Structure 1
Amino acid sequence: MDKVTIMSRKKFLEWIPPISKEQVVAIRIGDRPPVKDTASKRYLDTLSLAFYDEWTFADEIDRSTPEGSNRLTEKDKVIIDEFIDQYANKNFVLHCEQGISRSSAIGYYILKRLGYIEELNDKKDSSLFFPNIEVYGLLIGKPYTKDTATELMNELKSLE
């Protein structure tokens, strides 16, 4: 099993990890706060997040909206970082609706943060994923703006 497995919500609901549940944690991403279901019981722990799959320049986002505005926030980043740090020695399974954008942005971030560069490059080479640049930028500390857009796109495409 890969360090990070990325899939759609539909596949996640059917998928059974090929290793002991004590070795696997899950990050679940939806548009609205997700409901825990029986699929979550297949994992040691589950982090559920709710944010939309949008690409908006950071300086154009209205962050004054109340919590639950469905944008990934700095608070979410802290929660994600704590979850990664807590389970750095486990395998991660991530899903969003299609398993292409939001989950791959977090998956790429996990692999980069934990130093799994070969697996990160394999995922980039696969062309199965199109990471959400707004999410990825916030996670790596380079908010997606007009000034950083090209740099972030190049980082997502490069094999480093």
Structure 2
Amino acid sequence: MRIAAAFVDGADEGLPLPRYASAGAAGADVCANLPDRGVLTLAPGARVLVPTGLRLAIPEGYEVQVRPRSGLAFKHGVTVANAPGTIDSDYRGEVGVLLVNLGTADFTVLHGMRVAQLVAVPVVRADFALDGLDTTARGAGGFGSTGTDA
């Protein structure tokens, strides 16, 4: 599948487009494209919208999910706040990555740093209707209702 991309005005066009780090990678790494080519400091508990400098034309019938990078989450406690974030096929604005620092130390986002991964996913649209619900053994049980043992 091809996803057309364009840089926003003022973006660093020398940074790479999203790209896969390995042959089996499901997500394409996307970089921070900071307008001043500087840094963003993310304090513990804080969140920030990191610009990517990119706009995408996602084919109809697909979405692109914005997912955390496991290394940032493991090493620094930095993750995508609304994971997975969704970029709809009809959105043409700049892609932003909403990072949150769940760690205990400041985290610095550098210009050009890989901050998230993008995963293209097919979308199935549902037709919601008030038709009544069937019954199941689980019923309305949720949030641990099936047990907490391994």
Q: Return the TM-score normalized by structure 2.
A: 0.25
Q: Return the TM-score normalized by structure 1.
A: 0.24
Compare the two structures and name the one with the higher helix fraction: 1
Compare the two structures and name the one with the higher strand fraction: 2
Q: Which has the larger radius of gyration?
A: 2
